[in-house]
Amino acid sequence: MKKSFWGIFITLLTLLSCRSDDESLQKIDQIFNLYIKDSSGKDLLNPTKVGAYSGVSWNDELAATDIANVNFSRKMLIDSTYYVEYTAGATRQLYDDSDPENKIYRSEIQVSLTKKLSDTQNAPVDIDTLEIYYRMNPSVFEVSKVYYNKVLKFSKTPDEPNVVTIIK
């Protein structure tokens, strides 16, 4: 009888210690979608179209090594529009910690784009920069701003998806 009492007691203590306090959870919102279009609205990320970027690669500029690929996914919407989904992977450097309750982190990514000129020929590689700023406090870690070639392209709006559109 004593053994079963202690077994039940330890099980109850374990369950109580594993409960979560919803107020202590930090919301993570670091995924964003990157669209690249021309001035007329034509999708430039369709890898099969002439005039679009068939090759896309990202390199982490803040990494410890010169060659540090950053992972992303090229995805397609139902209407055949392509975009790049970035979840994480680039080095985050502390940018501003003047307010201990609201820290800012920064990532810098070199974006290499290869445009398809014909079925057999590509243009020279375009090299662009992508800077991502994150805001972190006890309640949230989120993408706050995105710059493309030093131009602000995105500022976070609460409860809205993180969508960045580049016009090239």
The per-residue pLDDT string of the chain (168 residues; one tens digit each, 9 = 90 and over) reads 555 545 555 555 455 555 555 556 888 889 999 999 999 999 999 999 999 999 999 999 999 988 899 999 999 999 999 999 999 999 999 999 899 889 999 999 999 999 999 989 999 999 999 999 999 999 999 999 999 999 999 999 988 999 999 999
One-letter amino acid at 25 equals L
One-letter amino acid at 113 equals L
Q: Residue 72 is part of which domain span?
A: 25-167
Neighbouring CB atoms inside 10 A of 45's CB total 22
77: in domain = yes
d(CA 115, CA 50): 8
3: in domain = no
8: in domain = no
d(CA 112, CA 114): 7
129: in domain = yes
159: in domain = yes
15: in domain = no
Tokens of 154: 């995105």
- Specify the number of domains making up the chain: 1
pTM for the predicted model, two decimal places: 0.82
One-letter amino acid at 148 equals Y
At residue 75, the pLDDT reads: 95
